[in-house]
Amino acid sequence: MGSVPAEELSLDLRPTFIPKTITDFLSHLSSIPSNPDKLSRLHDFLSRLEDELSKIHAFKRELPLSMLLLNDAISLLKTESNKCTPRHSPPVLEEFIPLKKEHHHDDDQDRYHLRENLDNENECRDKKNWMSSVQLWNNHNKLETKKSEEEGQSVAGDPFRSCSNKNGGGRAFMPFSTFSCSSSSVPVTSVSLAAATKEEKEESVMNGLSLLSPVMKSLKEGCASRGSRSSTSNRAASSSPPTLHRATTIQQQQQQTARKQRRCWSPELHRRFVNALQKLGGSQAATPKQIRELMQVDGLTNDEVKSHLQKYRLHTRRVPASSANQPVVVLGGLWMSQEQYNDSSKVSSSGSGSPQSPLLLGAGTSRTEGDSMEDDEDAKSESYSWKSHMHKPGKIDV
């Protein structure tokens, strides 16, 4: 473990010294007159960096940028070390020159970023352990405390985008939104849009510039409608310390696993959906494509509609079926299995919380055969409650 050679300890370097930046360290270094001292410090720092690199190596997928930074710092310092070494006078351009012969890893760190496969079990185990101890990536799970609901109402024009603004909760990251796709000031640096030209679907954009699967995903999580492609987060790579640069090509390979962002069917969206549906003559007459066309919602994909339609059908089927068998809760209770439990409606003084009329027309009970409801005119009317749960009490008006 903590095996630092005695001679190193005898030197005056503080093992715990941590400069703010590499630049700081270097300038610190330059104030040391003695070359051997310089080298000692340099090496000390280097080994700490390498130590850290080996720790983080298990997370190279999740923290590609950290890897990048570390690698960069290491190579920089190695270069510096070479400069100070009397042997190698030429400043040299590239890094890996094993100036630590006692080092056992012949797999030089500089290659860490090249090979990301071939993870041995060691690494996985490592990762697991770390993960359990340090919870680094849970952020995207529940990083929002539903502190104040009434924040995002200002969300620009797009009514469809209304649903999830859960991202803000996180920390530090900018509140990407507000300015939609207009001329705007997309900061951006390199990766950036490019893909944005095509108006196809935002997933292309996302796939195009998404970095890192888990982390970034959490960021993207919040807004997904096409209206707000905005400036998601790609500044990550741009903000490196002055001395560190040299963009690398890591990370790009591993986010092929990017999953499509869940479409959130906001009430508005659903309304359009239902409208389209009835224009097309009922839920089972309509076809996803037609529906989508009719909805005229930009960025909405066929599959999304399809999926929604599927759910819709399921729900609309279930309700009347129960009406045949159980004349019970047709109107009063409204088959609310577990949905309307959100009585968030009565929030404080607003009063008029629940617009979903629990009464409707009494026609429902009459049908003895549950299946005879081809035209879901009424089904639709009822069905509007099938989605009356709404995660967010956020009131929405057209």
Is the dihedral angle over the CA atoms 63, 67, 72, 77 positive or is it negative? Answer: positive
Looking from the CA of 265 toward its CB, the CA atoms found within 13 Å total 20
Name every residue whose Cβ is closer than 8 Å to that of residue 189 and which is 6 or more positions away in sequence: 234, 235, 237, 238
Please, what's the b/e burial string for 347-357 (b: 16 or more CB within 10 A of its CB; e: otherwise)? eeeeeeeeebe
Nearest CB to DNA, comparing residues 235 and 313 = 313
Nearest CB to DNA, comparing residues 115 and 311 = 311
Scanning 59-67, 90-98, 243-251, 298-306 for contacts with DNA by CB under 7 A, the matching segment is: 298-306
Task: State yes or no: residue 287 binds DNA (CB under 7 A).
Answer: yes
Taking the complex as a whole, the smallest distance from the CB of residue 221 to DNA amounts, in Å, to 7
Taking the complex as a whole, the smallest distance from the CB of residue 301 to DNA amounts, in Å, to 8
Scanning 75-83, 124-132, 175-183, 311-319 for contacts with DNA by CB under 7 A, the matching segment is: 311-319
Task: State yes or no: residue 273 binds DNA (CB under 7 A).
Answer: no
Task: State yes or no: residue 307 binds DNA (CB under 7 A).
Answer: yes
Task: State yes or no: residue 201 binds DNA (CB under 7 A).
Answer: no
Select the residue interacting with DNA from 69, 74, 209, 309 (CB under 7 A): 309
| Distance from C-alpha of 77 to C-alpha of 46, rounded to nearest angstrom | 7
In sequence order, which ranges of the chain are alpha helices (DSSP H)? 6-10, 22-30, 35-57, 64-84, 121-133, 139-142, 202-209, 214-220, 267-279, 288-295, 302-325, 377-383
Measured in degrees and rounded to the nearest 5, phi and psi for residue 68 equal -60, -50
Task: State yes or no: residue 262 binds DNA (CB under 7 A).
Answer: yes
| Distance from C-alpha of 36 to C-alpha of 326, rounded to nearest angstrom | 89
Measured in degrees and rounded to the nearest 5, phi and psi for residue 119 equal -70, 130
Select the residue interacting with DNA from 177, 251, 387, 394 (CB under 7 A): 387
Helix (H, G, I), strand (E, B) or coil at 154: helix
Select the residue interacting with DNA from 83, 100, 127, 140 (CB under 7 A): 140
Nearest CB to DNA, comparing residues 80 and 158 = 158
Task: State yes or no: residue 264 binds DNA (CB under 7 A).
Answer: yes
Task: State yes or no: residue 329 binds DNA (CB under 7 A).
Answer: no
Taking the complex as a whole, the smallest distance from the CB of residue 280 to DNA amounts, in Å, to 10
Taking the complex as a whole, the smallest distance from the CB of residue 220 to DNA amounts, in Å, to 10
Task: State yes or no: residue 265 binds DNA (CB under 7 A).
Answer: yes
Nearest CB to DNA, comparing residues 79 and 204 = 204
């071939």: which residue's tokens? 118
Site for DNA in 220-239 (CB under 7 A): 221
| Distance from C-alpha of 314 to C-alpha of 330, rounded to nearest angstrom | 17
Structure tokens at 94: 């590239």
In sequence order, which ranges of 134-164 are alpha helices (DSSP H)? 139-142
Scanning 101-109, 128-136, 173-181, 337-345 for contacts with DNA by CB under 7 A, the matching segment is: 337-345
- Least Cα distance to 14 among 50, 41, 43 occurs for 41
| Distance from C-alpha of 311 to C-alpha of 207, rounded to nearest angstrom | 27
Task: State yes or no: residue 344 binds DNA (CB under 7 A).
Answer: no
Site for DNA in 79-138 (CB under 7 A): none
Name every residue whose Cβ is closer than 8 Å to that of residue 164 and which is 6 or more positions away in sequence: 221, 222, 223, 224, 264, 391, 392
Q: How far is CA 373 from CA 18, 229, 291, 314, 379, in A?
A: 73, 41, 20, 14, 8
Site for DNA in 161-180 (CB under 7 A): 164, 166
Nearest CB to DNA, comparing residues 82 and 164 = 164
Helix (H, G, I), strand (E, B) or coil at 358: coil
Residue 263 DSSP class: P
Task: State yes or no: residue 366 binds DNA (CB under 7 A).
Answer: no
| Distance from C-alpha of 72 to C-alpha of 109, rounded to nearest angstrom | 10
Select the residue interacting with DNA from 48, 127, 367, 389 (CB under 7 A): 389
Select the residue interacting with DNA from 14, 20, 104, 259 (CB under 7 A): 259
Taking the complex as a whole, the smallest distance from the CB of residue 24 to DNA amounts, in Å, to 39
Select the residue interacting with DNA from 261, 354, 356, 381 (CB under 7 A): 261
Task: State yes or no: residue 289 binds DNA (CB under 7 A).
Answer: yes
Task: State yes or no: residue 78 binds DNA (CB under 7 A).
Answer: no
Residue 49 DSSP class: H
Select the residue interacting with DNA from 337, 357, 365, 372 (CB under 7 A): 337
Site residues for DNA per CB under 7 A: 140-142, 164, 166, 221, 259-265, 284, 287-290, 302-304, 306-311, 313, 315, 337-339, 386-387, 389, 391
